[in-house]
Amino acid sequence: MMSPATRHRVRLRRLPRRVAPFPNEHLSSYLHRLGEANGLPGNAFENHIANTAIPDRETIHDLTGLPERTLIFALPELRTPDDLDTYPALRGRPTAVGSSNYCPYCAGLRGPARPVRVWATHEQVLCRRHRIWTGGPVLTCEDRWSRIDISELPDVLAAHHRHQRLIVRFGREQVRHAFEDASCLVHQWHKGLPWPFRSVHARLAILEPDPGRWCLSSAICRTAEYPVTVAVTTFLADAAWRNRLLHMDMVDRQGAIDCLTETVTDGAVPAGVFDPLLTQCIEQRYHARAGPAETVS
Ligand SMILES: [Zn+2]
């Protein structure tokens, strides 16, 4: 629906080539592709849509001729709070909160073409169809446009299934926050502790045979850590496990730690007795986090 202010603005000329947005695409990513497809790369396209610093849905509609519904569903930045009343099917779709790469094969980019950026939920770390790691919003790394083939890593795919089941069991936002903590924790353990994660190194060896190139800030490192991160998330998301650790007697507490070390750290106990980073993560779980949800609700 057009806003009253819209009726008085200058309409932009429709571009000759129509370009469909990818699901949940960043507006900037879409506009860049739209400009390129119409022979207006970079600044030329920005000049074309001058005076609309943040293009609204009417502007995009003018430029593309795409229906309002298509734009609202595909481009989260163009939505308003009222849209949920008109389109209840928006519920559960990603909001403009967490960013990820879109699978280059789903985007049809076989060569070194420009990557597509999308809004994603925290568990959207891979493309199951093409067995490609896309990274998701939480597991940050230095190489932004990596293209990692995970077809030889069934434990990464299995961890992804577990991750999705955790969301069903504990709720999306609770698992999201636990996953954020777990990813930080596992990465710190991997960087700082003397004992190696044997499973992480085994996965790294498949992704990159030369250990000299196992950079800790690389995407392959975050990929190899992912199953461990999901395992730790399982503990952090579970209030019963946290309570055993923080409030019960020593025997119960030791049992909770044993369960974690057997499942996650190959029997090693972080920091000798107990790891302050882990304790911090567990205690912080009691303080609700503010911030926008990663899906429309
Ligand atoms: Zn794909």
The position carrying tokens 């007697």 is: 249
Residues 259 and 173 in one domain: yes
**Does any domain span residue 275?**
yes
- Sequence-ordered alpha helix ranges (H) in the chain: 27-37, 43-48, 57-64, 68-74, 83-86, 154-170, 172-192, 198-207, 219-236, 239-247, 250-264, 276-284
Residues 263 and 161 in one domain: yes
Distance 237 CA to ligand 1 centre (A): 29
Residues 71 and 127 in one domain: no
Distance 42 CA to ligand 1 centre (A): 27
**Does any domain span residue 295?**
no
As for how many domains the chain has, the answer is: 2
The position carrying tokens 């399982």 is: 234
Nearest to 25 by CA among 92, 144, 115: 115
Residues 34 and 163 in one domain: no
Residues 74 and 155 in one domain: no
Residues 32 and 135 in one domain: no
User: What gap in Å lies between CA 159 and CA 146, rounded to an integer?
Assistant: 20
Distance 286 CA to ligand 1 centre (A): 37
Residues 143 and 273 in one domain: yes
Angle at Cα 283 formed by Cα 279 and Cα 289, nearest 5°?
130
User: What gap in Å lies between CA 65 and CA 14, rounded to an integer?
Assistant: 7
Distance 131 CA to ligand 1 centre (A): 7
User: What gap in Å lies between CA 126 and CA 195, rounded to an integer?
Assistant: 28
Question: How confident is the model at residue 154, as a pLDDT?
Answer: 96
User: What gap in Å lies between CA 164 and CA 279, rounded to an integer?
Assistant: 25
**Which domain-ending residue is among 66, 90, 114?**
90
**Does any domain span residue 104?**
no
**Does any domain span residue 111?**
no
**Does any domain span residue 96?**
no
Look up the pTM and report it: 0.87
Residues 256 and 196 in one domain: yes
**Which domain-ending residue is among 90, 109, 140?**
90
- Sort 150 into a burial class: Cβ within 10 Å, 0-12 / 13-18 / 19+: buried
Distance 171 CA to ligand 1 centre (A): 26
Cβ-defined contacts of 110-118 (< 8 Å, 24+): 114/32, 114/33, 114/36, 115/144, 115/145, 116/22, 116/25, 116/29, 116/33, 117/25, 117/26, 117/28, 117/29, 118/22, 118/23, 118/24, 118/25, 118/26, 118/29, 118/94
Distance 127 CA to ligand 1 centre (A): 5
Per-residue pLDDT of the chain (297 residues; tens, 9 = 90+): 445 444 456 677 888 999 999 999 999 899 888 988 888 776 667 666 655 556 788 889 998 999 999 999 999 999 998 999 999 999 999 999 999 999 999 998 766 677 899 999 999 999 999 999 999 999 877 776 678 999 999 999 999 999 999 999 999 999 999 999 899 888 888 887 766 788 899 999 999 999 888 888 889 999 999 999 999 999 889 888 877 776 656 777 777 777 877 888 776 666 544 566 666 666 665 556 678 999 998
Residues 136 and 226 in one domain: yes
**Does any domain span residue 33?**
yes
Distance 106 CA to ligand 1 centre (A): 4
User: What gap in Å lies between CA 181 and CA 58, rounded to an integer?
Assistant: 40
Residues 245 and 154 in one domain: yes
Residues 59 and 195 in one domain: no
**Which domain-ending residue is among 74, 90, 106?**
90
Distance 295 CA to ligand 1 centre (A): 21
- Sort 175 into a burial class: Cβ within 10 Å, 0-12 / 13-18 / 19+: buried
Could you tell me the two tokens for 45? Answer: 């396209």
Secondary structure class of 149 (helix, strand, coil) = strand
Pairing of strands 126-127, 117-119: unpaired
Distance 199 CA to ligand 1 centre (A): 26
Distance 20 CA to ligand 1 centre (A): 17
Domain housing 258: 123-284
**Does any domain span residue 103?**
no
Question: Cα–chain-centroid distance for residue 251?
Answer: 38
**Does any domain span residue 289?**
no
Distance 59 CA to ligand 1 centre (A): 30
Residues 140 and 65 in one domain: no
Q: Which helix (H) or strand (E) holds 148?
A: strand 148-149
User: What gap in Å lies between CA 225 and CA 199, rounded to an integer?
Assistant: 8
Distance 48 CA to ligand 1 centre (A): 33
Distance 19 CA to ligand 1 centre (A): 19
Distance 89 CA to ligand 1 centre (A): 24
* Three-state secondary structure readout of 157-196: HHHHHHHHHHHHHHCHHHHHHHHHHHHHHHHHHHHHCCCC
